[in-house]
Amino acid sequence: MEEQTTPSLEHFSLQKEQIQQALGRVKTRDIDYADIYFESNVSESVSMEEGIVKRASKHIEQGAGVRATAGEKTGFAYSDDLSQKDLEIAADTARYIANSPKGETPIAVTHRDGPTQDLYPLEQPVSEIATTERVELLNLIDAEARRYDPRIAKVMASFTTEQKVVMVANSEGQLVGDIQPLSRLQVTCIAEDGSNHQVGSYGGGGRVGFSYYHEGERAQKFAREAARQAILNLQAVDVPAGVMPVVLGSGWPGILLHEAIGHGLEADFNRRKTSAFSDLIGQRVASEGCTIVDDGTLPFRRGSLNMDDEGTATSRTVLIEKGILRGYITDRLNAKLLGIPLTGNGRREDFRSIVLPRMTNTFMLAGEAEPEDIIRSVKNGLYAVSFGGGQVDITNGKFVFSASEAYLIEDGKVTKPVKGATLIGSGPDILKHVSMVGHDLQLDEGVGTCGKEGQSVPVGVGLPTLRIDEITVGGTSVGP
């Protein structure tokens, strides 16, 4: 029997009349739109280090966020108490912040059966997995990583889950909800060879059930991959610095696309004209081989949602098509103010947070080139397979990213692993220097978390193998 995917008012011990009354207090004459976002979340985490459970926690929270918009102004207030009195106080506060006079407008809300799509049907909620089963999973990972190589000196692993129930009621009379599972398994290994200590990390997850981690020995594969990266880094040489061609591997390197380009395509930055992509819809911003989409409708993916946090169904949005900028990702407020389509990308970290236009799963579509031919086309350059941290300035798209796994390309062949490689450039600039796009599009394993204005939300990224003709590589030795 599949898990129930549509919540009801009983989840929050609410009556429809309470919601209608609270909305009526906030939706007055001068308020364009109002909504109340209800959330109940059960999150659990177990972490292990050196074969010992270091931490196990369970956190339960519930609350509601009330929003009022008037023109470009937004009033927002929240309460972790869902009593009628506290909901009305939050409603009055949101209305006051939006500078609207006191009053009441009757709002009749209707209950819809739920979202129009069901992207993560599960037989068992992740919240029902016993702690003993979680610990057994981590023990399995610990043993597998140590088995990989005797130089693996330390293994750390964590398994986190959450079961989020959300409902959105708005001044247009809609009342819609969703039940959103999420889990993630993360492994970190430290390899030691004398005084040389190196780290490798890997993981994955999504809106999946517990059985996902045992399918095809997926958890053991995560452990072996983390161990492989740590051992590989023991052999890494210093990376040459300079301007050179760079080949990005498929999958997780899409994080560079997400940060350096994706944020610049969010509608709020473009409405305020603080993005490098402002006022460029219909113009060429990338080479012809670049088609970039944001798709929140991929089943079971970490960045996918049946509905966004405004109750709008998520969608597949073409942002850049064959190098031409086609649109931005939007929430209700920015879509209305810009007069562009609503894409279902209104997201918030929790009920205490305001809605912002945010990415879901953002990736570049596959091209036609053979990945091997892309590498063979480079005489001397860098092959970047995985990335760690990075920074980006969305006003100009300039970024700095560190590669956690990268190799030299010498005479068209991948050779030595390197350490200390950073990629430095501008998102809009590198898009114009993409000359070859592989047919091997892959999405990441499901570990992405995106930060914006102090809020974090789960996301997905993806990329085919591609060649960037020139980009600045920061390193520790002089390049060719």
- If asked whether residues 195 and 338 sit together in one domain, one would say no
Residue 371 has pLDDT above 60, yes or no: yes
pLDDT digits (tens, 9 = 90+) for 412-441: 999 999 998 999 999 889 999 999 999 999
Q: Are residues 202 and 256 in the same domain?
A: no
Does pLDDT of 394 surpass 90? no
Which pLDDT band, with edges at 50, 70 and 90, does 103 fall under? low
What is the value of pTM for the model shown?
0.94
Q: Where are the beta strands (DSSP E) in 124-260?
A: 152-170, 174-193, 196-206, 237-238, 240-248
Residues 6+ apart with CB under 8 A from 48: 54, 135, 138, 139, 141, 142, 155, 156, 157, 158
| Tokens of residue 391, six digits | 């920074």
Q: What gap in Å lies between CA 37 and CA 48, rounded to an integer?
A: 35
Q: How far apart are CA 321 and CA 346, in angstroms?
A: 23
Domain boundary among 174, 200, 234: 234
φ and ψ at residue 323, rounded to 5 degrees: 90, -10
Token output for 164: 């989020």
**Mean pLDDT of the region 125-139:** 93
Map tokens 């088995």 to a residue.
147
Q: Who contacts 390 (Cβ-Cβ below 8 Å, separation ≥6)?
A: 255, 256, 259, 399, 400, 401, 402
Strand partners, 44: 58, 161
| CATH code for the domain in which residue 193 is found | 3.30.2290.10
Nearest CA among 262, 123, 293, 225 for reference residue 445:
225
Assess whether 280 and 300 both reside in one domain. yes
Q: Which of 234, 268, 288 marks a domain boundary?
A: 234
In a domain, 4, yes or no: no
Q: What are phi and psi of 401, to 5 degrees?
A: -130, 140
From 77, 72, 107, 73, select the one nearest 92 (Cα to Cα): 77
Rounded Cα distance, 440 and 68, in Å: 45
Instruction: Give CA–CA dist 107/113, Å, rounded.
Output: 19
* pLDDT in the model for residue 86: 96
In a domain, 77, yes or no: yes
Q: What percent of the chain has pLDDT over 70?
A: 96
Pairing of strands 196-206, 174-193: antiparallel
Q: Which helix (H) or strand (E) holds 305?
A: none
Beta bridge partners of 69: 33, 74
Q: Does residue 263 share a domain with residue 182?
A: no
Q: What is residue 194's three-state secondary structure? A: coil
Whether 330 maps to a domain, the answer reads: yes
Label residue 480 by pLDDT band (50, 70, 90): very low
- The answer as to whether 322 is a domain residue is yes
Kindly state the tokens that stand for 196.
Answer: 């040389």
Any domain includes 1? no
Assess if residue 408 is contained within a domain. Answer: yes
pLDDT of residue 112: 66
CA dist 155 and 218 (Å) reads 17
215 CB-near residues (< 8 Å, 6+ apart): none
Cβ–Cβ under 8 Å, residues 416 and 401: no
249 domain residue, yes or no: yes
| Pick from 289, 292, 321, 318: nearest CA to 432 | 289
Look at residue 446 and give its three-state secondary structure.
coil
In which domain, by residue range, is 285 found? 238-478
Assess whether 221 and 243 both reside in one domain: no
Q: Do 255 and 178 sit in the same domain of this protein?
A: no
How many other β-carbons are positioned within 10 Å of the β-carbon of residue 456? 12
Q: How many CA atoms within 13 Å lie on the side-chain side of 231?
A: 14
State the number of CA atoms in the 13 A half-sphere of 256 facing the CB: 35
In-domain check, residue 2: no
Structure tokens at 222: 């995560």
∠141-58-3 over CA atoms, to 5°? Answer: 80
Q: Do both 218 and 248 map to the same domain?
A: no
Q: Evaluate the CA torsion angle 22, 23, 28, 31 in order and state its sign.
A: positive
Mean pLDDT of 4-24: 86
- Structure tokens belonging to residue 115: 């979202």
Taking the C-alpha atoms of residue 350 and residue 386, their distance in angstroms, rounded to an integer, is 30
| Overall residue count recorded for the chain in this entry | 480
Same domain, 424 and 461: yes
List, for residues 20-54, the tens digit of each pLDDT value: 999 999 988 889 999 999 999 999 999 999 899 99
Helices (H), 235-278: 254-257, 267-271
Choose the final residue of a domain: 217, 234, 251.
234
> Are residues 258 and 208 both part of a single domain?
no
Instruction: Please check the confidence at residue 130 and state whether its pLDDT lies above 50.
Output: yes
How many domains does the chain contain in total? 2
Residues 418, 282 share a domain: yes
Q: What is the mean pLDDT of residues 295-321?
A: 98
- Do 251 and 360 lie in one domain? The reply is yes
Kindly state whether residues 401 and 364 are assigned to the same domain. Answer: yes
The stretch 112-131 carries a mean pLDDT of 84
Confidence at residue 312, expressed as pLDDT on a 0 to 100 scale: 96
State whether residue 276 is helix, strand or coil.
coil
